[in-house]
Structure 1
Amino acid sequence: MALGHGGYDTRVAALRAQLAAQPPGEPVRLAKRTSNLFRPRASTGSPGLDVSRFTHVLHVDPDARTADVEGMVTYEQLVDATLPHRLMPLVVPQLKTITLGGAVTGLGIESSSFRNGMPHESVLDMDVLTGNGDIVLARPDNEHRDLFFGFPNSYGTLGYALRLRIELEPVRPYVRLHHVRYNDPDTYFAALARACRERAADFVDGTIFGPHEMYLTLATFTGDAPQTSDYTWLDIYYKSIRTRTVDYLPVRDYLWRWDTDWFWCSRALGVQNRLARLLVGPRRLRSDVYWKVVAFERKHRLLARVEGTLGRPPRESVVQDIEVGVDQAAKFLHFFQREIPISPIWVCPIQQRDRRHWPLYELDPDTLYVNFGFWSTVPLAQGEPDGTRNRLIERTVTELGGRKSLYSESFYDEDTFWRLYNGPTYRGLKDSYDRERRLLDLYDKCVKAR
């Protein structure tokens, strides 16, 4: 059943013409009005390639449980197209405006990741516009399989996904949530590992409010619900975790339970007050609206100037997601709570779905990892340079054998970066698919922010 508009080939031809019109040697970038990246992006003055028309769900096949999707389709669009068929993507990242192409090239996780891995693991094939200017079909079993497996964690530096065919899985109308409180990190992470190993639920994640207040949320599909909660406007999902043991949500509301308040980051923007929420309305309580406010502040630094005028210390942005093996999770949490004054913390278990090798973000397929997400600012002590806490987190994660997502600022030196993210394989892919280096280098893009 076709759900999107036709004309994919026409859109591809128009994009080829744009690329051919670019001056030789000119760096190639996408012209994107929005981004879910939390790191600076250098301005080149170049208009970039306009991919804004690649926003169609081309086809949903309910029998094969697959979807053909253009790269700029958001997960909100995709979910709205698949749920009428009682299907969903195997992993739906937490924020509505994350695009499918962005999640595959830049990774993503959610509470189904302990059984389904990351979004790229459900990709069957994709059309990629490479730095060489070619559009190639990359599959795990054809001549471009090296690009297929090397594309995740390349962040658009090898090419851009124009179309992807992905697997889907069945859903039921509602999700039953069970929030279980723990007071001890060792017991907490042991319970998390056991729930994942025993498949005790369809979805597993957790929220840590303090050293002795941590919740494991076990969520399971169900065909009916005695009642459902609504966290799309006046009520706040993360606050309910502390007050409700059992909760029910429609499946769509479960998938977007974090988006209404950007997890808990809406509190920094003053919209957790009930009167403010009433005035703002549900249509503006969305992560993409909050992102525009944050982008404005980062550009103009109005709050930083006010705090400086009031004599308050400068603050460092600590916006990161990291993964460590579950056997190191309690140790990382002890470190974090000792050194980084941020709360709450999101935790999400993740395990590779199969034994295939994804070289630019290598995980042991036999290991259950725990993702820690923390997004706030911390005060800098007198004389401390910006980046102090982020560098400390990076060193600690490396010592614990973990990995860090590159969607936010990174501070690695070049040797360490390429050791962690497989420099030799990356350079081989670059030689094959971006010979003239028209796309940015991964280190330049993710660390130097060029």
Structure 2
Amino acid sequence: MIITALTAIIWSLLPASAKQRLVVWLEDHREFVVAFFCLPASFLFTVMLRLKAFIRRLTSDPMRHDSAVKDIQARVQKWNKLPASERRLLCTSRPNWQSLSTTFFQKHLHHRVPLALHDILQLDEEAMTVRVEPMATVGDVADYLIPRGYSLAVTIELVDATLGGLAMGTGMSTHSHKVGLYHETITSYEVVLGDGSLVTATAHNEHADLYKALPWSHGSLGFLVALTLKIVKIKPYLKIKYIPVRGQKKYCDMMRQLSGTYEAIPADFPDYIEGTIFSKDEAVVMVGEYSDYERKITVNECSKWYKPWFYKHVETFLTKGEGVELIPMKDYLLRHNRAIFWVVEDMLSFGNNPLFRFFFGWLLPPKPAFLKFTTTPGVRAYTFTKQVFQDIVLPIKELEKQVEIASVLFEKFPLLVYPCKVVDHGPSSGQLKRPDPKYMVPGTNYAMYNDLGVYGVPGKVKEKKPYNPVDAMRKMEKFTRDVGGFSFLYADIFMTRKEFEEMFDLTLYEVVRKKYKAEGAFPHLYDKVKPEIDVFAIGEENAITG
């Protein structure tokens, strides 16, 4: 925090001309700054965090969970006794830099409550569930479950993502064509409400309405203190088949066919499906099945520091043709972590060079927490205009249109595609609108959608051509609303409140806010997820200056 404060002070003291020269220098020497400052500093920062986590694990005691929750309840009850004029809205005390969200929620304007809840509480092998505290991470639970022969039904690829953050937001994986979005795998939420009471919400108890509204609520309905997640039985390896495909319609049709867009998924459909689109006409489709060791098949420990970045490895199959590998389960589940999908390439173009990987690959990736920790308001406003980081969920029947509009607006490849079923739970069943009937899979209660991942520096920015990020994203958001899709809310949104309420169904949410004492206690969902900077002013400035 001291480093950030000093940087902010120095930045504020610089004259405008000096700021402009510094920005230009940083942009021209970005790789130098990343290689000689960001990576070593990020590594030390990571060591510090790992040491802190190690000490925490040494003193970990799941038996303390109940007393920790009672302390949170007491803090909320104490807040309720404050004079109305002194009761600022509640939020957690977790620093912004620890969150993987691209936004910086203004916690200093709120009443912050500590939630030191990091433990894995219980594995129930009979029920095939694991009960965890919300601050446990994807990395924590992978380390715990995989040696026991299990994984979460939905495991996203970033080790630092917290399980509670995903529950209040969302997530999907390459297994989601079978199990759906992350929240479909949650069997119960334990929540401290705005009056300090503790409730457990499930799909079938008296708090079923809260259970439906908590996904996509981003901490705006209460404090999550525990959750129970479905797990799946796995084998030591995933047998991956890489299928290079040329022709847009051909790879789009293949993704639809493999994921069961036109018929209910039979038992023999692949366990995992992923598509990496390298241009409008070239993609590699990957299908994976759980597997034991097979001596005749190459084993690829793709997460080792010296290995090629996963998407670069995938790209080689465009030239060498179809191939099959065994990947250890943990390596597969966290395959995109080292290159943060492909964002690191825009920061360090030589990062995938074999010599760099061998000698310095252990420094990667730059810790997202470190990048946020060192981000000043000035840097935030600058980087906002120079990069895109979006996950957008859209009907897979519209995949060709998705690729076309993304390529025009962002000129950024690769694009990531994960098929995912979106379940129709009926009217007023949460923030996600019901899928349009034309997208429904015949004979089922779900439609097949896909995540479209757009990450990195847009082509126009790389070529130093005029680029308006607000105009581009607002056009993408309009397309998303028009086809009945929805944006992941960890990323910056560019919608007015009216447009936000067109994309999401807040009918049940508003009822639940009143019923469960969230009004006047927690920020509204829109206020919680909208960028802390004035995106429309930045858009106007970019339109003028180019």
- Scaled by the length of structure 2, the TM-score of the pair is 0.75
CA contact (8 A) 2:344 2:365 kept: no
Deviation digits for residues 34-85 of structure 1 (CA, Å, limit 9, x no counterpart):
0011123224255711112x11111112232111111111111112222222
1:285-434 maps to which residues of 2 (within 5 A)?
285-286=364-365, 289-293=367-371, 295-297=373-375, 299=377, 301=379, 315-352=385-422, 355=425, 358-364=429-435, 365-378=445-458, 379=460, 386-434=469-517
The answer to whether 1:7 aligns with 2:87 is no
Q: Distance in 2 between matches of 1:17 and 1:268?
A: 47
1:22-61 maps to which residues of 2 (within 5 A)?
22=79, 23-24=82-83, 25-33=87-95, 34-44=98-108, 48-52=112-116, 54-61=117-124
Task: Tell me which residue corresponds to 1:229.
Answer: 300
Mean Cα displacement is larger for which, 36-45 or 99-108? 36-45
Mean Cα displacement is larger for which, 380-389 or 228-237? 380-389
Q: Secondary structure at the match of 2:168?
A: helix
Larger Rg: 2
Q: Which amino acid aligns with 2:453?
A: G
Q: Distance in 2 between matches of 1:167 and 1:303?
A: 39
Q: Distance in 2 between matches of 1:383 and 1:93?
A: 34
Deviation at 1:415, TM superposition (A): 1.6
Q: Distance in 2 between matches of 1:213 and 1:123?
A: 36
CA contact (8 A) 1:231 1:260 kept: no
Q: Secondary structure at the match of 2:494?
A: coil
Q: Distance in 2 between matches of 1:363 and 1:223?
A: 39
Q: Which amino acid aligns with 2:486?
A: R
Q: Secondary structure at the match of 1:44?
A: helix
Q: Secondary structure at the match of 2:418?
A: strand
Deviation at 1:423, TM superposition (A): 2.6
Structure 1 residues without counterparts, runs of 5 or longer: 306-313
Q: Secondary structure at the match of 1:214?
A: strand
Q: Which amino acid aligns with 2:313?
A: S
1:83-122 maps to which residues of 2 (within 5 A)?
83-122=146-185
CA distance change for structure 1 residues 220 and 42 in 2, over 3 Å: closer, same or farther?
same
Q: Secondary structure at the match of 2:90?
A: coil
Deviation at 1:388, TM superposition (A): 1.4
Q: Secondary structure at the match of 1:108?
A: coil
Q: Secondary structure at the match of 1:102?
A: helix
Structure 2 residues without counterparts, runs of 5 or longer: 1-59, 318-322, 436-444, 534-546
Of residues 311, 314, 324, the one that matches 1:238 is 311
1:89-168 maps to which residues of 2 (within 5 A)?
89-168=152-231
Q: Which amino acid aligns with 1:429?
A: V
1:168-207 maps to which residues of 2 (within 5 A)?
168-197=231-260, 199-207=268-276
CA distance change for structure 1 residues 355 and 425 in 2, over 3 Å: closer, same or farther?
closer
Deviation at 1:319, TM superposition (A): 1.4
Q: Distance in 2 between matches of 1:292 and 1:391?
A: 29
CA distance change for structure 1 residues 420 and 342 in 2, over 3 Å: closer, same or farther?
same
- Scaled by the length of structure 1, the TM-score of the pair is 0.90
CA contact (8 A) 1:183 1:211 kept: no
Mean Cα displacement is larger for which, 89-98 or 32-41? 32-41
Q: Secondary structure at the match of 1:397?
A: helix
Q: Secondary structure at the match of 1:7?
A: helix
Task: Tell me which residue corresponds to 2:357.
Answer: 277
Task: Tell me which residue corresponds to 2:326.
Answer: 248
Mean Cα displacement is larger for which, 314-323 or 409-418? 314-323
Q: Which amino acid aligns with 1:258?
A: H
Task: Tell me which residue corresponds to 2:6.
Answer: none
Deviation at 1:217, TM superposition (A): 0.7
Q: Distance in 2 between matches of 1:131 and 1:396?
A: 37
CA contact (8 A) 1:75 1:99 kept: yes
Deviation at 1:377, TM superposition (A): 3.0
CA distance change for structure 1 residues 354 and 399 in 2, over 3 Å: closer, same or farther?
closer
Mean Cα displacement is larger for which, 114-123 or 346-355? 346-355
CA distance change for structure 1 residues 274 and 18 in 2, over 3 Å: closer, same or farther?
farther
CA contact (8 A) 1:345 1:374 kept: yes
Q: Distance in 1 between matches of 2:381 and 2:354?
A: 23
Q: Distance in 1 between matches of 2:148 and 2:125?
A: 6
Mean Cα displacement is larger for which, 374-383 or 86-95? 374-383
Mean Cα displacement is larger for which, 40-49 or 145-154? 40-49
Deviation at 1:20, TM superposition (A): 3.3
Query: Alignment identity in percent?
Result: 22
Deviation digits for residues 121-180 of structure 1 (CA, Å, limit 9, x no counterpart):
121112112233322111111111101011101111111221111221100010011111
Q: Distance in 1 between matches of 2:387 and 2:514?
A: 35
Higher helix share: 2
CA distance change for structure 1 residues 129 and 78 in 2, over 3 Å: closer, same or farther?
same
The answer to whether 1:19 aligns with 2:19 is no
CA contact (8 A) 2:176 2:420 kept: yes
CA distance change for structure 1 residues 98 and 264 in 2, over 3 Å: closer, same or farther?
same
CA contact (8 A) 1:208 1:215 kept: yes
Q: Secondary structure at the match of 1:60?
A: strand
CA distance change for structure 1 residues 328 and 229 in 2, over 3 Å: closer, same or farther?
same
Q: Distance in 2 between matches of 1:220 and 1:413?
A: 43
Q: Distance in 1 between matches of 2:481 and 2:423?
A: 23
CA contact (8 A) 1:315 1:377 kept: no
Deviation at 1:218, TM superposition (A): 0.4
Q: Distance in 1 between matches of 2:251 and 2:119?
A: 42
CA distance change for structure 1 residues 303 and 228 in 2, over 3 Å: closer, same or farther?
farther
Number of aligned positions between the proteins: 437
CA distance change for structure 1 residues 362 and 258 in 2, over 3 Å: closer, same or farther?
same
Task: Tell me which residue corresponds to 1:218.
Answer: 287
CA distance change for structure 1 residues 84 and 181 in 2, over 3 Å: closer, same or farther?
same
Task: Tell me which residue corresponds to 1:258.
Answer: 336
Q: Distance in 2 between matches of 1:304 and 1:441?
A: 27
Q: Distance in 1 between matches of 2:372 and 2:248?
A: 33
